Structure 1
Amino acid sequence: MSTFGKVFRVTTYGESHCRSVGCIVDGCPPGMPLTEDDIQPQMTRRRPGQSAITTPRNEKDRVMIQSGTEKGITLGTPIGMMVLNEDQRPKDYGDKTMDMYPRPSHADWTYLEKYGVKASSGGGRSSARETIGRVAAGAIAEKYLKMAYGVEITAFTTSVGGVHMFPPTAEYPTPSQNPAFMNLLQTIDRDTVDNFLPVRCPDEEANEKMADYIGQVRDAHDSIGGTVTCVIRNVPSGLGEPCFDKMEAELAHAMLSIPATKGFEIGSGFGGCEVLGSVHNDPFIRAPVTEESVAKTGIPRSKLTTKTNNSGGVQGGITNGAPVYFRVAFKPPATISQAQTTATYEGDAEGVLAAKGRHDPCVVPRAVPIVEAMAALVVMDNLMQQMARHAARLQLPTLKQTVPPAENGVSMDT
């Protein structure tokens, strides 16, 4: 479906080469300052044509708010946002061979099987152009999360092909065991990440190696994949809806819905399978009460935190207040200009197809803001569900076995 979320709901529309792409955001709280200037920075980080190692398609991706705000303030009604496709070239896909042959590993064949008709140009809804609506909606969610709870979401490139920022070792089979990685998660921000363009890997040596490798792949008319790591700091505890909508399940759903994704892991991930339980467990410790949390909740109450964070900030499907971090794997882009063998749509003959058009040799650098956007949508939707639960509980007498509610009605201090 084209709609994501239960309370904070986002519906995207548009294909790769149609007149415009965009989204409808329903459920945004009223009374929040919001203009295009709040949304455009993330759109610019996602847009094509950023560097020599991205697609040369030249789209400015200027977002236009169509509804849901008045005088720069959200009304609580659906927010419509639109971005024009200005540099579309459907003729790049008009070659007869592309009408005869599905591109290897692309969505041409599966879309035809599902709908009985396919977009004549580009990848249609499978194109990364669809993610424009996600990024626009995510920027709205991020603004609320930052204003209300100080939530910070930062993603960055951690590998391209076999070039890793934190390569696994015998001592550190998973980055969660590596102190350098865990320290980075505490401080990394988007300004720092964007100082390492064009790849967005916040390590000078690794960033340079990745950029060189992508350049070599591009020159060979080929493509390569990689991974993006994301950290969400200051996440309120108690978010997540067991049993089937656990926080990590929601995040996995969101991330694997992004085009070209092939894998998801949270916390220690697959590397955590290689360490003993006595090493992997996160011991609880008392967390100091900060002035910020007291001011937000009005209750000077201590909280627990964990000494380590192999769990990735989620236990039992519910956030525990520690930073939530995860990694997403992106495959090599399917469309390459190198000649490849394939069969006709009817399957009655084989041929050679050299796809045309403008494409990224590696999607990872531009995927960074998309991962951030989807993370924001997941946290926002779960936060609003939890706020509704707490507001309903306030109408009942306080029981001895329950935690006293905060004065503001939401005892989810950070």
Structure 2
Amino acid sequence: MSRSIIIKRRLRKLSPNNLFKNLPEGDAKSGLILILCVMGSLALANSAWSSVYVNFWNKTVTGEFTVLHLVNDGLMTIFFAVVGLEIKKEMVVGELSNFRKALLPFLCAIGGIIAPALIYAALNYQTENITGWAIPTATDIAFSIGILALLGSSIPRSLKVFLTALAIIDDLGAVVVIALFYSQSIDFYYVMGAILLPLGLWLLERYTKFYHISLWAVVGAVVWYLLHYSGIHATIAGVLIAAVTPIRNKNSEPLEELAHLLHQPVNKFIVPLFAIANTAIVLNAGVMGELLSGISLGIMAGLIVGKPLGIMLIAFISTKIKLTELPNQVSWKLLFGTAILAGIGFTMSLFVSFLAFSDAHRQDISKIAILIGSVMSGVLGLIYLSQTLKQNASKTPH
């Protein structure tokens, strides 16, 4: 067979159609879609159509809302609902329902939040940029799990469970941080209304077994409105409605059904649209010249160094004092590689950057830093885990 024919066949295998076709359904494919969305958005923002494209996202649609606000404050509420549903499922019937199993990822998630925050704070101490301390504390579930999926069946299932649990707890931490630290002046009456309505739904289902998705949706919309004017970020409405969605009701499983209903729209439309809208960044000298600023260094160091440092330090201490133990078939090397992947911030980090800074310039600086930090964490984690798996395979007797 000629060399040219072999090359053509290899190129055909690498075509976009085959690339998507051969990827496993779910996380890996979602991760690739997000990468393409980011690349496309950055390309458009720095093309001949730059002003039209960037202005589109800042165009006022109604009242105080721009297109970007509708995506970040409106559609992302559905994303937070899915996050809430995942958290509740794991805490009630999943991996987080077992205290012993949940303790290691819980403690590691806490370490993975504190260390990046401290690194960022140290690099931005006594400056107005300190408000961005929470940006590098998040882990993106789709990207991090997607990298593990690319490594195939050689990755122990227990490691995937650990990273999933850690990312879910991480998301819960991000929700708490947003509610506590990135809310404006709080209106007590609006907050009480936003709490009492979901509580009423819970009591209704608890004592009458009544559940209908349309009622939950209507109450969710009202809760969103109340939170928007309460000073607490409105996307928390998604988490509140998810929290009162029953796992079982008579002969149905509402939580599983709702998660299944929202999963595809969130993964294939809302999160990609969020990625596109929030990476419409003009890479001018002003933005690129800030790559060594406190904001950029704090975010990149927080994601690339802080995440694995916090996770591994907590894991080491908690196992040494016999408080926790490593998951089955997981070595310290595999855990370290996974801790590096946890530095992929992306979705939640981008969201927090939108809340942390009020001006577009600092938002753009932080977004570029998030992209660089997340890409480096993903590449380093993938290379390290690949080499570790190869070493393990070479030591296994055939």
Q: Tell me the TM-score normalised to structure 1 length.
A: 0.26
Higher relative CO (CA 8 A, sep ≥ 6), structure 1 or 2?
Answer: 2
More strand by share: 1
